Amino acid sequence: MKKGAYSFNKIEKKWQQFWQQNSTFKAQDCNASKPKYYVLDMFPYPSAQGLHVGHPEGYTASDIFARYKRMKGFNVLHPMGWDAFGLPAEQYAVESGTHPAETTRKNVDSMRRQIMSLGFSYDWDREVNTTDPGYYKWTQWVFLKMFNSYFDETEQKARPIEQLPIPDGLTEAARQQYIDDHRLAYEAEVPVNWCPALGTVLANEEVVGGLSERGGHPVIRKPMRQWMLRITKYAERLLEDLAEVDWPESIKKLQIDWIGKSVGADVKFEVPGCDWDIWIFTTRPDTLFGATYMVLAPELDLVDMITTAEHKEAVDKYREEAARKSDLDRTDLAKEKTGVFTGGYAINPVNGAKIPIWISDYVLISYGFGAIMAVPAHDTRDFEFANELNLPIIPVVEPEDKEQADLVKKGELCFVGDGRAINSGQFDGLSTPEFKEQITNWLAERDLGRKAVNYKLRDWLFSRQRYWGEPFPILHAEDGRVLGLSEEDLPLVLPEVQSYKPSGTGEPPLANIDDWVNVTLPDGSRVKRETNTMPQWAGSCWYYLRYLDPNNVDRGWDSEKENYWMPVDLYIGGAEHAVLHLLYSRFWHKFLYDLGYVSTKEPFKKLVNQGMILGEDGQKMSKSRGNVINPDKVVADYGADSMRLYEMFMGPLEATKPWNMQGVEGVHRFLQRLWRMIIDEDTGELDGAIQEADTDEATLRLLHQTIKKVGDDNESFGFNTAISQMMIFVNHLTKQTVRPKSVIEKFILILSPFAPHIAEELWEKLGHTETLAYESWPQYDKELIKEKEIELVVQVNGRIKDRIVVSAEADEDQIKQQALASEKVTAALAGKQPKKIIVIKSRLVNIVI
RNA sequence: GCCGAAGUGGCGGAACUGGCAGACGCGCGGGACUCAAAAUCCCGUCCUGGCAACAGGGUGUGGGUUCGAAUCCCACCUUCGGCACCA
């Protein structure tokens, strides 16, 4: 190897040390002299496997943008931290006895080293770790705030629980109950997803097809006492404020679907001989005349009261079976609907018809009232059920399509679209939307129903029966009261345990530590600590706020700093967090907004998702397939700059794309060429071609075109095309025997966000003594970009016949003349008169004959 | 089943707002340098026919709009991602 060759290992180490020693990327709080810009990465879970090549993709994109913004004069906040609570470290602890904190520390150290080796411009002084008591103190604090708040329905916002209006005349116990029932963090006995293998409860989102997302173990339904967060109160705002954020439409859509708003009516069905009614929710009140039976969820308490003696045995049996079914079974059996008749009847409020009441597990307890009216003619599920069990079908909506209408009328087709009302008494002939409105009013006037809105979104199941999570700052008194710790007692530190194993009965590991669980209060009363811990999502709900003020011991974050930095201007991460993390943190943010702790409605202004990187075989990377690419190896063999450049050159940021090691060599060769273009490899000094000289026109034009293209592409995250433009530039300049220094310098600056190490090194070789991180981004000159002469394509009837070169100033007539003058064109015209000549300046001429 | 994204050379991918399809990179073929190899440099590379000039075809499939379609419209096929009885 020659003395002055591109020695990326040395160069990269040198500049990483330089940046660290000089705190080059330290963000300045509240600096009013510059506009701020907050670039955030989704922080990683520090796993034992370390970084995979998917991580650096998003991190490189955000780093390029952060560096670009600095050069554009912004005060940039670009932090990194660790989402370090979670199952793997705990599983490892169960197996090996190693404290999760120790595993975590080791993994964090190794992943930090890996991330640092890529030369990202993070302000490392702001590093956070969710498992640090100094951090989770404030996670617990937010939880306490939720525990001590309620949701004011009229104002649609959270308020301190002390302000909750309490009805008069309640006993002390009832008063307490009333308050507890309104807390945003509350306890409930709920059927949960219990995973015996993991020994914990999982959130709905963590169960995939009846199996646990992690590990793929079976999950069953089981009622347990759990902590819940009332995210449903925020459903409407979570939906509405999506309009405010600059996110990919597909991600917004996923959230909208997850929230699942539907508008319809609640309708009351009386049960003869009973003094209570069955309420149902429907989005199709216009089909009420077609309701031929009702279905209740098997779990509904009401079922007991409705079931007649002769049907009791069958009903009880069915209910028992339904309760035993796991979600997987329920999904599997969804193909064939089952159910039993209760013996009870209800009265259809619109026509007084007596209709039978059934139970079936196709009706969900957790949505609406857990009861439905069944309109088999116009609901596919009811249609299937009615056919299965031979129940009557009455068509009440006539489709426009004649053929369809005939089938619907015969009861052979289930039609769920809009149409005209039939068999609906005085409402016959109305269109579906008209009917909906009229019948809703009709019901409301008679006190039989009301307009209603329902959401699919459920309250967030917030407790886990695990060790490695934030302990709840909650005490349980002997009389059943639930007390929040006072803020001064935070953090409630996770205690040491003998065994990390869950008890298997649902009791978390913390329950085994008697002297931690049992607490005597100053007044002598004895209480027990909550032994559940929070889910991994908790710490990531607000970490972007902690970066603003990571060392503050008195507050989670300073409000002046919050005002300055928030919102996050750019958030880059994987699309797999589209609903979970992004919905949860928006919820927490809105809650904090209500209480005045943050100044913006939404935390993340712009969101960009990086796509997945596949293995070289085009398959998802996995250990078992043996196609995992180790970033350490890539950095060792080709350097961090090559790695960064390749990850961006592969294709559009959001796309899924396969890795190709030869592609890495390709960009590496580009850097080599760039190096030799500037440095004489024999001496290590500047090449003789680098001179203080005037620039030829073509080079100057290409330089300015490149500055423009790279800048524009940076703004739109089109890093792949920015890199190809830089390659075009280097290909051109390498051929020049004189390479003006001023041209080289400008080029180094625009390359620097992509390949910062080599850029800094060359910048220094060019005689600069300061880092280029804060040099201003080169400007381009519009005039210099313009070509003097333009090649146009000449078509005859859309087929290319010739090319002509015209002056950039030529007007349409001149271009026409020149085009018609072409010999090839004359030949193609074969003497015919052109009907029309279309001239698109700087593009083409099309002669139509 | 429903929703969303995407289908372009041997491969990753370019193509502004409807205007030269295939930029840039990989791979491949040929050449230079070398005793030889690596590295590097130069030339070529969508397909078919032709020595060539050139002609024809070509952006998942089939139709349509237009002087002109990878780009817009309709129908369909395939792949990937998400949801999964939410009344």
Record the tokens describing residue A152, joined without a space: 């004011």
Q: Residue length, chain A?
A: 849
Between the two ends of chain A, the Cα-to-Cα distance in Å is: 65
pLDDT reading at A333 higher than 50: no
In this complex, the nucleotide whose C1' atom is nearest to the CA atom of residue A665 is: B26
Angle at the Cα of A43 (from A39 to A49), degrees rounded to 5? 140
In this complex, the nucleotide whose C1' atom is nearest to the CA atom of residue A283 is: B87
Contact call for residues A432 and A399 (beta carbons, < 8 A): no
**Nearest C-alpha neighbor of A737 from the set A699, A784, A702:** A699
**Nearest C-alpha neighbor of A624 from the set A615, A633, A611:** A615
pLDDT reading at A334 higher than 60: no
Record the tokens describing residue A762, joined without a space: 């060359």
Our measurement of CA A652 to C1' B61, in angstroms, reads: 27
A92-118: b (≥16 Cβ within 10 Å) or e: bbbeeeebbbebbbebbebbbebbbbb
Our measurement of CA A773 to C1' B8, in angstroms, reads: 39
pLDDT the model gives residue A804: 85
Mean pLDDT over A519-529 rounds to 92
The mean predicted confidence, pLDDT, of chain A is: 92
Tell me the per-residue pLDDT of A119-160, one tens digit each, with 9 for 90 and over: 999 999 999 999 999 999 999 999 999 999 999 999 999 999
Residue nearest to nucleotide B66 (CA to C1'): A798
Rounded CA separation A569/A606 (Å):
6
Report the range of poorest mean pLDDT among A616-625, A699-708, A822-831, A833-842: A822-831
Mean pLDDT over A218-242 rounds to 90
Our measurement of CA A736 to C1' B39, in angstroms, reads: 22
Record the tokens describing residue A431, joined without a space: 């269109």
In this complex, the nucleotide whose C1' atom is nearest to the CA atom of residue A847 is: B67
Our measurement of CA A745 to C1' B37, in angstroms, reads: 37
Rounded CA separation A138/A133 (Å):
9
Our measurement of CA A106 to C1' B77, in angstroms, reads: 51
In this complex, the nucleotide whose C1' atom is nearest to the CA atom of residue A838 is: B67
Record the tokens describing residue A760, joined without a space: 């800094």
Strand B bases near protein CB (under 7 Å) are: 3-5, 11-16, 19-21, 23-27, 39-42, 55-56, 67-69, 80-87
Q: What residues contact A90, with CB distance under 8 A and at least 6 apart?
A: A100, A466, A467, A468, A500
pLDDT the model gives residue A327: 57
pLDDT the model gives residue A218: 76
Q: What residues contact A445, with CB distance under 8 A and at least 6 apart?
A: none
Mean pLDDT over A634-645 rounds to 96
Q: What residues contact A281, with CB distance under 8 A and at least 6 apart?
A: A264, A265, A266, A267, A367, A368, A369, A372, A452, A454
Our measurement of CA A60 to C1' B27, in angstroms, reads: 27
Q: What residues contact A601, with CB distance under 8 A and at least 6 apart?
A: A241, A244, A589, A590, A593
With tokens 């080709």, the residue in question is: A638
Tell me the per-residue pLDDT of A44-91, one tens digit each, with 9 for 90 and over: 999 998 898 889 999 999 999 999 999 999 999 999 999 999 888 988
In this complex, the nucleotide whose C1' atom is nearest to the CA atom of residue A335 is: B85
> What confidence category does residue A204 fall into, taking pLDDT thresholds of 50, 70 and 90?
low
Any bridge partners for residue A186, and if so which?
A: A228
Residue nearest to nucleotide B2 (CA to C1'): A257
pLDDT the model gives residue A504: 66
With tokens 């750019």, the residue in question is: A570
Residue A415 CA to its chain's centroid (Å): 35
ipTM of the complex: 0.95
Our measurement of CA A274 to C1' B1, in angstroms, reads: 40
Our measurement of CA A406 to C1' B53, in angstroms, reads: 68
In this complex, the nucleotide whose C1' atom is nearest to the CA atom of residue A374 is: B87
Question: Is the pTM above the cut of 0.90?
Answer: yes
Percent of chain A with pLDDT over 70: 97
pLDDT reading at A326 higher than 70: no
- The CA-atom distances, in angstroms, between A291 and each of A279, A382, A542 are 14, 10, 48
The bridge status of strand A157-160 relative to strand A149-152 is antiparallel
> What confidence category does residue A740 fall into, taking pLDDT thresholds of 50, 70 and 90?
very high
Our measurement of CA A367 to C1' B36, in angstroms, reads: 78
Residue nearest to nucleotide B40 (CA to C1'): A673
Tell me the per-residue pLDDT of A335-353, one tens digit each, with 9 for 90 and over: 688 899 999 999 999 999 9
Our measurement of CA A845 to C1' B69, in angstroms, reads: 17
Rounded CA separation A202/A193 (Å):
5
pLDDT reading at A459 higher than 80: yes
In this complex, the nucleotide whose C1' atom is nearest to the CA atom of residue A260 is: B86
With tokens 């005045």, the residue in question is: A596
Rounded CA separation A761/A16 (Å):
11
Rounded to whole angstroms, the maximal C-alpha distance in chain A is 111
Tell me the per-residue pLDDT of A34-43, one tens digit each, with 9 for 90 and over: 999 999 999 9
Angle between helices A640-649 and A8-21 (to 10 degrees): 100
Sheet holding A568-574, edge to edge: A75-77, A36-41, A568-574, A604-610
A281-300: b (≥16 Cβ within 10 Å) or e: bbebbbbbbbbbbbbbbbbb
